[in-house]
Amino acid sequence: MRTDTLPTISRHDYQPYPYQIDQVRLEFDLAAEQTLVRLAFRARSRDGQIQPLVLDGEDIELLEVSLDGNLVSPQDYLLNDQGLTLSPPAAEFDLVLVSRCRPQENTMLMGLYVSGNSLFTQCEAQGFRRITFFPDRPDVMSRYEVVLRGDATLYPYLLSNGNLLESTTLDDGRKQAVWEDPFPKPSYLFALVAGDFDVREREIKKANGQPALLQVYCDRGDGDKTEWAMQCLEHSVRWDEQRFGLALDLDRFMIVAARDFNMGAMENKGLNIFNSAYVLADAESTTDASFHAVEAVIGHEYFHNWTGNRVTCRDWFQLSLKEGLTVFRDQEFSADMLAQGLDGAQAASARAVKRIDDVSVLRAAQFPEDAGPMAHPIRPESYQEISNFYTATIYEKGAEVIRMQHTLLGEDNFQAGIREYFKRHDGQAVTCDEFVDCMDSVYRQVKPGQSLDQFRRWYQQAGTPRVQVSLTHDAAKQTATLTLRQSNAPAGIEDKAAVKPPLHIPFALGMLDQHGQPLSLHLDGQKGETLVLDFTEAEQSWTFTHIPEAPVLSLLRNFSAPVKVDYYRPDAELALLARHDTDPFARWEAAQLLATRLILSSASGRTPSAAQQATVVQTWHALVQDPALSPAYKARILSLPSERELLEQTQPMTPRAIVQARRQLQRELGLALTPYWQELYQFLSLEQAPYSPDALQAGQRSLRNLALNYLLVAGVSTGPQLARNQYDQATNMTDRLGALSALVNYGDPEDRQDGLDDFFQRWQDNPLVLDRWFSLQATAPSTQVAQVRALMLHPAFSMRNPNRARSLIFQFCMNNMQAIHTPEGYAFWAEQVIALDKLNPEISARLARVFDNWARFEPQARDPLKAALERIQAEPGLSGNVAEIVNKALT
Ligand code: 0A1
Ligand code: ZN
């Protein structure tokens, strides 16, 4: 663990590695206590000059090194806590190196580590250097041959990337497996797994007719929970063939579930390692939302095989090259899966549900990042610790930037750009610029005289741009003139640039008449119900013809750009859009905005007018009864914006007031519409088909749970009994947890405790469900710091398991706003950051980020939060990971 602040690395300092390493041979003598690693490769100087060979290495012991067969003695090399520097004998030479690592002691879960009784690796971004000494950077690409040896009983399965060449039993009784990966790859894609597992296998035929073997490995006893994962994997293979024309390039593709994992999953070539939360699923123990998360993550990792592995990043500043693009791909995959078999408005509505969920994530996680001290462009200019840059900006905003290119080009031209990308760069490590070059080459062909030159600014600017809208209508000429103004204020601690040049914003727009009928738009020869404006100037106007009366604007349809829109308009207009907009995203947005206005005004201490309240209630009333809306969409549009999204819109941020104001509106809607919630609840309780996580069933369950919540929050007398019954009779986790969460959040103390006790009894042996039990309590309004401390003493709690730490500590700090925003809450947070840092700095740094935006809070929160950050900063031996966050927050 490092103790001082790390040096800053700048994008412009990139230098290619001086040596080419075509082939790597790795031999492992595996054991949890200590593992011996023998590395051999031949290196060739790129320019023929002999230069020092600098190898990264951390937390590993060097036992022996030789160059061209000659042992190098310690006085002839330089070894420090960051690596090894050697003086090669020639411009081309052989290196052999033996080192030792200690998986059992590895609590960071980077490099080779133990989870359960098995051994796993995690190498992205810089974990390989904790396994052996190597140029641990993405632009050094080599073919790997890997020999694994280990105890036959502990490790009957010995897995690595690529194809299995042989599997034997050695004279000493150990097992040995030899793997070869035919594709050159950077070290961050290396993986090995050793352990005993349940395995599910499926043989499929690829589009070219060749067979491929899909395998899903998990802990013994969990094998009955991998059918869904296998199905998702097969769907992913098919989808990438059909929509992107990209085929699986291996004979075998493996997924392995690990209980201890820092992130969601990892796309190691041919051997994806997953957090078990994104593999294991069955109706009884898994919610619909988790089923969909499994689908998304399996898709994501599988799609990386092309966008990430076949073409990878030149350096880590280009991380969004693979992450933004792959998130875009997994979002489209999920949307296509939801819309399967539907067409027209139904398909659009199904896709909109996914879009709504994705945009909500962006707003809850990325917008705050863009408004805080860690704000960075999707291609950052500098970093200290790369693991701090696996952010919502790189992933989610990165995906939005890809999506805008898709919008500008259209599906067919976008796919032509993708084909160009693989034609030019297959097998290479490239930059974001090189990706845009490919899209631009198509764009220039289809839009003569135009280019993506200005669009590239999206890769340079941090911050969420604001777009101000104004409208004038000329009744005599029957024209409507729309004016848009864009600005992007300085963001983050590096962004001193007061003036940022305007961005190329694809701005999708529609108009309705005063009765809610869609208008056909006419603009310079273009015609349509939705037009995408090329908004490129600081201020720009468009005049639409054939508009007899003042129109109602439907703005930023389908959220065509990651911006904030400012447009003053009366509530009545929003109410009209909420009922009639034909763009399902913009329709949802209008309803949300109506509710947001009301909540924000009561949070700020103003009493909303009766008319304002009535508009919201009437709108909800109309929506709850609308027979044309799918249950999934209805559940989204009738939900209130999340506390986090609301908080983001207050200035200064007033968390406790937001929680109360939101709760108050929930109560009012619960009361005003009680008969409708009851009717909806009863209707949706009718006999259902056998469980499936499909869009219809999942939508019905989420709408029913929403109705139940409204009934309970409003204190309707029948509510608790409905919840108890639902809990007792549930045959799936969505129903069971939905009922329990309503009781825990809004029920009386007795129901809450009975429910929690029963749930624990049922599920204590299932770690993923037990995580939910901890989360429920962490976020319950009745929970204070003292209860969380008590839960930390529960025998099932462990700080070492990231999922468990997240389920209790992170959930409490992030999603229990009433309790965390107290002096005890802030002290607790600082204490946990420090405790976690000793075990796992990457995870700790994520917890530290929860309040890096302290300066945006109301005064009574600001001072204690600052003091808590200073307390962390002063901690001796703080990791570089946490130091970077805290120092930036306090700058
Ligand atoms: N590339 C992975 C994310 C990932 C990054 C770092 C990790 O190390 C702890 C693990 C996973 C993805 O995008 O899914
Ligand atoms: Zn990824």
Query: Following DSSP, what letter does each residue of 627-649 receive, concatenated?
Result: TTS-HHHHHHHTSPPPHHHHHTT
- Please give the number of the atom of ligand 1 that sits closest to the Cα of 297: 14
Residue bearing the CA closest to ligand 1, atom 4 = 266
Nearest to 112 by CA among 46, 9, 31: 31
pLDDT at 812 over 90: yes
Nearest to 120 by CA among 276, 309, 282, 236: 276
Out of 263, 278, 305, 323, give the residue to mutate to test ligand 1, the one with the largest number of ligand atoms within 8 Å of its CB: 263
pLDDT digits (tens, 9 = 90+) for 34-78: 999 999 999 999 999 999 999 999 999 999 999 999 999 999 999
The tokens describing 99, both together, are 């080192």
Long-range pairs for 807-812: beta carbons < 8 A, 24 or more residues apart: 807/771, 807/772, 807/774, 807/775, 807/778, 808/774, 808/775, 808/777, 808/778, 809/778, 809/836, 809/847, 810/846, 810/847, 810/850, 811/774, 811/775, 811/778, 811/779, 812/778, 812/779, 812/783, 812/788
CA of 394 to the centre of ligand 2 (A): 10
The tokens describing 69, both together, are 């067969």
pLDDT digits (tens, 9 = 90+) for 150-207: 999 999 999 999 999 999 999 999 999 999 999 999 999 999 999 999 999 999 999 9
pLDDT at 131 over 90: yes
pLDDT digits (tens, 9 = 90+) for 306-361: 999 999 999 999 999 999 999 999 999 999 999 999 999 999 999 999 999 999 99
Which one of the ligands is nearest to 272 CA?
1
CA of 191 to the centre of ligand 1 (A): 13
Q: Band the pLDDT of 6: cuts 50, 70, 90.
A: confident
Q: Is residue 20 a contact partner of residue 43, using CB atoms and an 8 Å limit?
A: yes
Q: What is the ipTM of this complex?
A: 0.98
Report the pocket of ligand 1 as residue ranges, CB < 6 Å: 122, 124, 262-267, 300-301, 323, 390
pLDDT at 137 over 90: yes
pLDDT at 498 over 90: no
CA of 185 to the centre of ligand 1 (A): 16
Nearest to 503 by CA among 563, 457, 555: 457
Provide, rounded to the nearest whole percent, the portion of the chain with pLDDT above 70.
99
Residue bearing the CA closest to ligand 1, atom 5 = 124
The tokens describing 776, both together, are 């429920």
pLDDT digits (tens, 9 = 90+) for 213-266: 999 999 999 999 999 999 999 999 999 999 999 999 999 999 999 999 999 999
Which one of the ligands is nearest to 840 CA?
1
Mean pLDDT score, 386-399: 98
Q: Is residue 313 a contact partner of residue 319, using CB atoms and an 8 Å limit?
A: yes
Q: What share of the chain is helix, strand, coil (3-state, %, to 5)?
A: 45, 20, 30
pLDDT digits (tens, 9 = 90+) for 748-790: 999 999 999 999 999 999 999 999 999 999 999 999 999 999 9
The tokens describing 98, both together, are 């033996």
pLDDT digits (tens, 9 = 90+) for 850-891: 999 999 999 999 999 999 999 999 999 999 999 999 999 999
Out of 390, 394, 396, give the residue to mutate to test ligand 1, the one with the largest number of ligand atoms within 8 Å of its CB: 390
- Please give the number of the atom of ligand 1 that sits closest to the Cα of 390: 5
CA of 266 to the centre of ligand 1 (A): 5
Beta strands in 206-311 (DSSP E): 211-219, 252-258, 265-266, 271-275
Count of positions (residues) in the chain: 891
Residue bearing the CA closest to ligand 1, atom 6 = 124
**Global pTM exceeds 0.95:** yes
Which one of the ligands is nearest to 267 CA?
1
Rounded to the nearest angstrom, the gap between the alpha carbon of residue 717 and the centroid of all alpha carbons in its chain is: 39
Out of 113, 266, 323, give the residue to mutate to test ligand 1, the one with the largest number of ligand atoms within 8 Å of its CB: 266
CA of 294 to the centre of ligand 2 (A): 14
**Residues annotated as catalytic (active site), given as ranges:** 301
Q: Band the pLDDT of 495: cuts 50, 70, 90.
A: confident
Matching residue, tokens 């989204």: 636
CA-CA distance, 429 to 313, in Å (whole number)?
Answer: 5
